[in-house]
Structure 1
Amino acid sequence: MTTFPQSLPGSSAPVRMWLPTHELEPTAADQVRAMSRVPGIEGIAIMPDAHAGKGAVVGSVIAMRDAVMPSAVGVDIGCGMTAVQTSLSLADLPDDLGPLRKGIEGAVPVGFSAHSGHAPILSNPHHRRLRARTDRLFGSFERLTAPGVNTLEGRAIAQCGTLGGGNHFIEVCADERGLVWLTLHSGSRNIGKSLAERHIEKAKTLEWNAGLPDPELAVFIRNNPDGTVADEWNNYMRDLFWAQDYAALNREVMLATVQSVLASALPGVKFWDRVSCHHNYVAKENYDGVDLVVTRKGAINADRGTHGIIPGSMGTGSYIVRGLGYELAYRSASHGAGRRLSRGAAKRQFTIDDAATQTAGVECRKDAGILDELPGAYKDIESVMSYQADLVEPVARLTTLLCVKG
């Protein structure tokens, strides 16, 4: 029986892995070793969905002291998931979910599409609080510091409540009891990307980053030599936390929109408490009395009692989980199944026939545009869950019925 955590030979800082060492691809292992040599690194936890990323490994938790690595957060700042259980059961759903999918696709812009201004749902008097939250967030837009972003406010408003592309999705699922859930996955859209790219490029110019093995590992250090807080640090942290708030708001606006579509199709539906979690983000946390900056790059908070969402892939469903607060993992768990094939490899390997086979029973697109997102491009979610049994406990296993992809 495999025991966790495992270590990674050749690392300079402590690395604890919830993945068998031989299952970590060589490129990802080299990235972890390079990450362990970055100034300010306190330790790294590798989740069971880990795979190579740009600079930093996807599926890693990076704990730093008075330092932060902007490219580890990546360009989709605050990307994460939201789920809500409904009052519906499987028996309440129509046999043909096609019209419901088309209704969702018609209400939530996907890919590069956006609203013409604020999302229409924000004009609904039932969502006054959500509109007030939106107004508060954009009331602080002018305080963002990254060069040139002042021209992007209109686009950020129009993209709030939109899905985007890649691995983002909206799903209708059912749990083991036959109860229906809504889940969605998205992040901070173009504004998060623009903020991230500008700060990453700034970090690469700083003198202490000159000797790094990969410029993508560039960091901001909190303090100047005289002990004052560095402007670059303050600027990045301000923009970062704004983008994380935007990502959470984006998901809330989308969820309200999808709930409205479902309520129109199935009047009388009710929605219970939601679960929401970032999985590309930074948090200030304390471990053993030490204040640390923790970056979860493809990982969720799994503090004791905290609920989170761990998706598999389109067609394989998701888990609702409860955190167990494992300190050695920096109270974290995986953010999904993790890619097994790169997007390019998946597009070369799979066909439209594979799309039909691998998504059988799921109401979704079955065209060439989803080949890189097929279940076969991802690791087995059940194996991933088994490796992190001491990090989270399952609360519900969701099976996908309908999937909208960006």
Structure 2
Amino acid sequence: MQDNTILKLAYDISSITRDKVGAIEAIMTTTKILALNARIEAARAGVAGAAFGVVAEEIGSVSTEINHIAADFREAVEAHTRQIEEVGGKMMIDFRGQRLTDLSLNAIEIIDRNLFERSCDVRWWATDSAVVAAAEQPDDAQRADFASSRLATILRSYTVYLDLWITDAQGRVVANGRPDRYPNVAGLDVSRSAWFRQAMQTTSGDEFTVADVTRNAALGDAAVATYATAIRANGEQHGARTGVLGIFFDWTPQAGDVVRGVGLSDEERAQCRVMLLDAEHRIIADSTGKGELGDAYPLKTGDRERGYYVNNNRLVAFALTPGYETYRGLGWYGVIEWDLVAGEKRTALEQNTVKTHQMES
């Protein structure tokens, strides 16, 4: 990166200057010793060596002056080099911080656009005639089987879902799209589930509900994002609520593709951890696999929607979900954590730059 090059050049200049000035000072020290010896020999020679003594004295004076100039030069170069390194260090933090903030926003925007489509799916499929019929007559096995086959057809095309469930108005699952994979779903009582209760409270077919990412025991304990809406009589926008359609987004592989697919360079990828956090700052996706679903991340936003800060030798960039079209988002964050020391040795001034940012944040 360009800012790293600036820091390296500044450090090299400082190092070269110290070496070269040190060499000059060593030569001048030798010269002063020679001049001293010359004065001693001139004194022994008496009148014959008087002129040589004057020359030796002048050489000593010149040597002293050169030493003073070299010392002033060293001090001036080192002072300017420190400023360059400090500015370069800040540039490094700011450049990386802004870049990673942009990539954090990109990651959460991809998820928002993906989940916006899920909100469209559930509202559309809830009006399917087979789904409507199954919810209106939940005890009709033939209608339930037909609805199950319709859901299976959807699932063959939409591979991002684990399963789709139809419930009656009391919260009993009457049909699902993958009874072969999840044979114990039909008949489940989901009346206490937040997604069911909230879906039954929607006021029109334009509304939907979404639950936080969590594990669903009936789906093999897989992590899912659950979207739901009320099924309405005749599939009408303001029809009576006769049941609920719940769709279960297969979270882990889809979110994993997002956090691992962020546009990082090879160098950045080796030092970065890309995460998605929910509104409670629980880790719901982690490119390193370190964070388990539900582990809390100590994000410090400072009431900002996006930005970055340095904490414990890590640069943390974040961006709050902006939503997408009619999808407002769930207060989730894209977060990228950069290990500032991994894979490289930093100069003392780089370390001081990080410490300064830590104090400022």
Under a length normalisation based on structure 2, what TM-score does the superposition of the two structures give? 0.24
Q: Which has the larger radius of gyration?
A: 2
Which one has a larger percent strand, Structure 1 or Structure 2? 1
Higher relative contact order (CA 8 A, sep 6+): 1
Under a length normalisation based on structure 1, what TM-score does the superposition of the two structures give? 0.22
